[in-house]
Amino acid sequence: MKTMEDLGDVAGLRVLVRSDLNVPIKGDEIGDDGRIRASLPTLLTLAKAGAKVIVTAHLGRPKGTANPEFTLAPVARRLGELLQPEGVTVRFATDVTGESAQEAVQELDEGEVLLLENVRYDPREESKDEAERGALADELAGLADLFVSDGFGVVHRKQASVYDVARKLPHAAGGLVLAEVEVLKKLTESPERPYVVVLGGAKVSDKLAVIDNLLAKADKLLIGGGMVFTFLKAQGHEVGKSLLEEDQLDTVKGYLDAAKAKGVEIVLPTDIVVAPEFKADAPATVVAADAIPADQLGLDIGPESGQAFAAEIAAAKTVFWNGPMGVFEMAAFAGGTKAVAKALTEVDGLSVVGGGDSAAAVRQLGFADDQFGHISTGGGASLEYLEGKELPGLAVLEEE
């Protein structure tokens, strides 16, 4: 995989960068700018080398139409605020490859950054038709001389701005993509042991393939979040009104048997924080994991389980965590996620927060990025890599 150094002198050249700037926005307010900050080193490297930097990115799911709810204008402003101290000007084009984009590219000076409007405004970006994607990729490539892929959160997507454009221009991986791949290789090829994986989030069905693959690699799997209730039910326990995937019970039983056969320990909570309804002010109580009342639903792992999970993490040399332990957005149900996050900050080895909700959770709960070994910018991409899948956006970078 080529690096930016392999592209040679970029001064005066137009470099198209696919970044992942898909951040949570309400109105004009950005809730978590972690992905914007993660994109800065690559953009700065190119700008300081005298390139004319053109950034393409997406926000949300506008489904191929120009919906103002998903404009990247607030992201352009934030990018400008972050790059201004470095003397870098950020411009914004109000379309993807149209008149505004073309004029802005012509006016772009060396060392400046131009952000194009949400690439998913164009239906061809996510088209299953290769010719349609190729046509958009041609237009994007027409704006630039070189392509740098730096949006790790989208490398598992075969999309025009991720995959097809890399086939149209001399290309390289950006610093963020290279850093993510380096960490994921450590997790899959040569993890220092003990290797503990912590999985949470709502649905076990979202994590089936990764559990399958990690049973052959990890020493212990700690299971929390909404997915834990399918595991508890598979063991024969009642789960009340908790989230449950009945259709996955046999699969989960199979995992429990396979783990035992391989000597991998699956650690489940011993206590659960429950409430009668899914509300921030619902009365919360702690019950044993095997005694959840019929009229209650589990919304977090309990304090005893939080301590037990933290002890398992503390004893590990490598930890990968994906998915919150409970409904961390509500204070009464954030304790388990906070316990896991704190434990990860104290790991004597490599601690990896696997993007998505986990990354949002650690920041919302007051932890700083540099307290962890690595915070991934790509939840889905990280999981697919750990599943052993080929990611199209990485595979294409290895083509000449």
Whether residue 158 is contained in a domain is answered as yes
Give residue-wise pLDDT tens across range 166-195: 999 999 999 999 999 999 999 999 899 999
> Rounded to 10 degrees, what is the CA torsion of 210, 23, 109, 135?
60
Give residue-wise pLDDT tens across range 268-318: 999 999 999 999 999 999 999 999 999 999 999 999 999 999 999 999 999
d(CA 124, CA 122): 5
Whether residue 124 is contained in a domain is answered as yes
Structure tokens at 191: 């993890």
Same domain, 191 and 170: no
The continuous run of DSSP H or E covering 284 comes out as none
In this prediction, residue 26 carries a pLDDT of: 86
CATH number at 379 reads 3.40.50.1260
Is the CB of residue 187 less than 8 Å from the CB of residue 219?
Answer: no
Whether residue 90 is contained in a domain is answered as yes
Same domain, 162 and 193: no
Same domain, 234 and 105: no
> Rounded to 10 degrees, what is the CA torsion of 157, 162, 163, 169?
180
> Can you give the residue range of the structural domain that contains 357?
183-386
In the chain, the number of structural domains is 2
Q: Could you tell me which of 158, 156, 203 has the C-alpha nearest to residue 387? A: 156
> Is 151 known as a binding-site position?
no
Mean pLDDT of 342-364: 91
Give residue-wise pLDDT tens across range 101-160: 999 999 999 999 999 999 999 999 999 999 999 999 999 999 999 999 999 999 999 999
pLDDT band with cut points at 50, 70 and 90 for residue 203: confident
In this prediction, residue 32 carries a pLDDT of: 87
Q: Indicate if the pLDDT at residue 356 is higher than 80.
A: no
Whether residue 349 is contained in a domain is answered as yes
Whether residue 392 is contained in a domain is answered as no
Q: Which of 142, 175, 208 is the last residue of a domain?
A: 175
Q: Could you tell me which of 169, 159, 162, 161 has the C-alpha nearest to residue 129? A: 159
Q: Which of 175, 195, 212 is the last residue of a domain?
A: 175
Give residue-wise pLDDT tens across range 50-99: 999 999 999 999 999 999 999 999 999 999 999 999 999 999 999 999 99
d(CA 280, CA 303): 18
Same domain, 308 and 219: yes
Same domain, 170 and 216: no
Whether residue 395 is contained in a domain is answered as no
Same domain, 279 and 353: yes
Q: Indicate if the pLDDT at residue 355 is higher than 80.
A: no
Whether residue 284 is contained in a domain is answered as yes
> Is 61 known as a binding-site position?
yes
Q: Which of 130, 156, 175 is the last residue of a domain?
A: 175
Is the CB of residue 300 less than 8 Å from the CB of residue 327?
Answer: yes
> Is 142 known as a binding-site position?
no
Same domain, 135 and 247: no
Same domain, 86 and 145: yes
Whether residue 12 is contained in a domain is answered as yes
Same domain, 133 and 73: yes
Same domain, 207 and 242: yes
State the catalytic residues.
Answer: 35, 203, 356, 380
Predicted TM-score (pTM) above 0.95: no
- Percent pLDDT > 90 in the chain is 88
Give residue-wise pLDDT tens across range 10-32: 999 999 999 999 999 988 899 88
